């Protein structure tokens, strides 16, 4: 999608701090981190949200990337949170499927007003 900020990061059209990438997924630092570790994992291909008819294999690969990112970011042993927001009521602010990997501090019971 031409106006999707995550598509632009994936395509290197706008800067992003890339943590990991392969043929199907890209992980990069959130521009507005809620915790010391706040990394997003996105598919290279644009899907609006988790209910957007995503191939099962790709969903599996996205979630299989989570422990790899946790290890890269150094939270694999201390713990981390994995979040997928979907739609307006789910507080999805960028409509490109993404997985949040959050950690590096004790988790608050409630996160901030938006992500």
**Catalytic choice (38, 96, 98, 100):** 98
The two tokens of residue 55 are 């191939």
In whole angstroms, what is the distance from residue 102 CA to residue 22 CA?
Answer: 21
Q: Based on the residue annotation, tell me whether 98 is a catalytic residue of this protein.
A: yes
Q: Rounded to 5, what percent of the chain is helix, strand, coil? A: 20, 20, 55
Residues noted as catalytic: 98
């Amino acid at each position: 999608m031409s106006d999707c900020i995550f598509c632009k990061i994936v395509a290197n059209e706008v800067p992003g701090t890339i943590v990991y990438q392969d043929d199907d997924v890209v992980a990069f630092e959130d521009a507005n981190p809620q915790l010391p570790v706040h990394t997003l994992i996105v598919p290279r291909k644009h899907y609006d949200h988790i209910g957007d008819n995503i191939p099962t294999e790709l969903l599996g690969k996205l979630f299989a990337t989570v422990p790899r990112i946790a290890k890269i970011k150094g939270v694999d042993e201390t713990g981390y949170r994995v979040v997928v927001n979907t739609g307006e009521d789910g507080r999805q602010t960028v409509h490109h499927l993404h997985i949040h990997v959050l950690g590096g501090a004790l988790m608050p019971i409630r996160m901030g007003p938006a992500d």
